[in-house]
Amino acid sequence: MSHKLAFIGFGVVGQGLAEILLEKNEELKQNEGFTASVVAISDFIKGSIYNPNGLDIDVVLSTLRETGNLENYPPTSGLIKGWDSFKTITETNADTIIEVSYTDVKTGQPAIDHCKAAFESGKNVVMTNKGPVALAYKELSEMAEKESVSWGFEGTVMSGTPSLRMPITTLAGNSIKEIRGILNGTTNFILTKMEQEGVSYEAALKEAQELGYAEADPTSDVEGYDARYKIVILANYIMGIPLKVEDVSCKGISHLTLKDIEEASAEGKRWKLLAKVQKENGKVTAQVAPEKVDITDSLASIGGAVNAITYECDLLGPVTLSGAGAGKTETGFSLLIDLIHINRERKPVNV
């Protein structure tokens, strides 16, 4: 099945998917019957191009490398430049929107409105932006269902590690009563460094920033806000709990000292920033906070910038999944997971 794609935003993640589509083109066609044509890219900073006959992704990527601007894409028959994100969503011949725009996680905008415009135009959306899923899951999922389109957001939690689709598909039939996980690689890297090398929180954070794991302003990571959005997504999508961000108590790791780390080690434990949601006797509790985890716990062995999640199942017991929680290729792959899923469903799309 052939898919026409329009990228809204074309930063690291979007380019990661574009590179995967180039590299895996023949393999995807052979193994999945999946072919994709990128017809449009609209990026607030890099510019906007649309060709209903398809863009040459090799040329797109080389143009960006050489000039930094999509407006310098060479003129070809049918090429249109300068459309904004909403015109690109509603007026191009794309059937699926790749929503990877720069979005304010506190408001979910402009990605929420991008999703609405796409759904109302009869187009699928795959995305990595956490805000829309954490803040507007019910509204957007109902809208996608009403319009008979697909909405994929695997990359919003643990990047390409299938923390959302895996439990829905392969743990089906289980009642999942608790989800707890290491959902932020930056904090896990910092805590691992402090324990293994005996360095201070400040020194470990500095190294995380130098390696690109932490932003110049690391607040969202180290105070637990990033993990809070992710546990809200997990609760809504996997457990069917209409959890809101403000329902989740949140505490970060910036107060932890080397003394705290050493004391935990002496007790046979290890500090981890855990995001948890639990449903018991109809009562829901959810929190993000550092915890001293017993060394025998499956989450205790997860070190560095790796993410991990444990699903407490009534039939199978605890099931733990670990893997990359960030990265250009890894997050690009999360979008591919969603595209393959749409291809397998072969839903009719109104264009």
Among all chains, which residue has been given the structure tokens 């006797």? Answer: 281
What beta strand segments (E) does the chain contain?
2-8, 35-43, 47-50, 80-81, 96-99, 124-127, 151-152, 176-182, 249-250, 269-280, 283-294, 306-313, 317-324
Buried b / exposed e over 31-55, threshold 16 CB at 10 Å, is eeebebbbbbbbbeebbbbbbeebb
Contact (CB, 8 A) for 118 and 125 = yes
CA distance 96 to 159: 20
Amino acid identity of residue 162, one-letter, is P
Strand partners, 23: none
| Residue 158 dihedral angles phi and psi, to the nearest 5° | 60, 30
Strand partners, 273: 290
230 catalytic residue (yes or no): yes
Long-range contacts of 202-208 (CB under 8 A, 24+ apart): none
Which one is catalytic: 4, 230, 276, 279?
230
CA distance 80 to 303: 48
Structure tokens belonging to residue 213: 């794991």
Query: Does residue 318 have a cis peptide bond before it, meaning omega lies within 30 degrees of 0?
Result: no
Burial tier of 243 (Cβ tally within 10 Å: 0-12, 13-18, 19+): buried
Q: So which residues are the catalytic ones?
A: 230
